[in-house]
Amino acid sequence: MFFDTHCHIDLFDDPIKIAQSYENANASCVMATMMPSHYQMALPYLQPFKAIMPALGMHPLRAHECKKEIKMFIDHARSSDYIGEIGLDFSAEGKKTKQEQITILKTILPYLRNGKFVTVHSRNAHEELACLLDDYHVGPVCFHYFIGGTQAAIELTAKGHYFSVNGNMLRNKHRYLIDAVHRDNILVESDGPFLTKQPLTMIGHIYDELGNIWHTDKHVTEEIISLNFGRCRTIFS
């Protein structure tokens, strides 16, 4: 079985068709959302799909809108086993809401313990994000599309965190992550529709490439990722 740990199914032109494609392929998908209201809206539509795991999101680049939905996030966080995407973004695009992002994250982090899978956004902000995760005793989490460099990846792995690899990372300079991080800390993501309109095709290629790198056959590669996904859960408080 394939695991896609980060895909924005709700942002595709036909989300139900994409959800059905995962179901048909016997593949599981963590459906990342941008805001609590998006998560809430998607829930009734996704109930028939056992393969889709809706994740409760507060995207840092939507901080100005998200701050109005903090209570909604907290209410849903009590029952949601999947969280994301959340995090920090201090790139040129995100700097203008830096303080809002930090305030939101500090508010929601206490609700992310007790065995939740959490996928985080950390562009140009992984050090600050790691410190907040430590401060609030939240982890391990999965760093989605990590671009923070080899040393930072090693340090985050030492804290127990995981990294999800997408097709773009296999083709560009961020491939270093696969060499820097032990295979027991690797997960797989499509980040569709931002990186691909065909998420299952990308996921299949990533599994094949990881098998080539690790010298493992298809079944062993799938087992490694499956076990990693099962272990990437926050501590119980």
Tell me: the pLDDT tens digits for 97-117?
999 999 999 999 999 999 999
For residue 52, the model assigns a pLDDT of 98
For residue 159, the model assigns a pLDDT of 96
For 47, residues 6+ apart whose C-beta sits below 8 A from its C-beta are: none
Q: Are 54 and 82 in contact (CB under 8 A)?
A: yes
Please compute, for residue 216, the number of CA atoms within 13 A of its CA located in the half-sphere on the CB side.
16
Ordered by where they begin, the domains of the chain are: 3-231 (3.20.20.140)
Amino acid at 220: V
Q: 175 pLDDT band (50/70/90 cuts)?
A: confident
Q: 200 pLDDT band (50/70/90 cuts)?
A: very high
pLDDT tops 80 at residue 214: yes
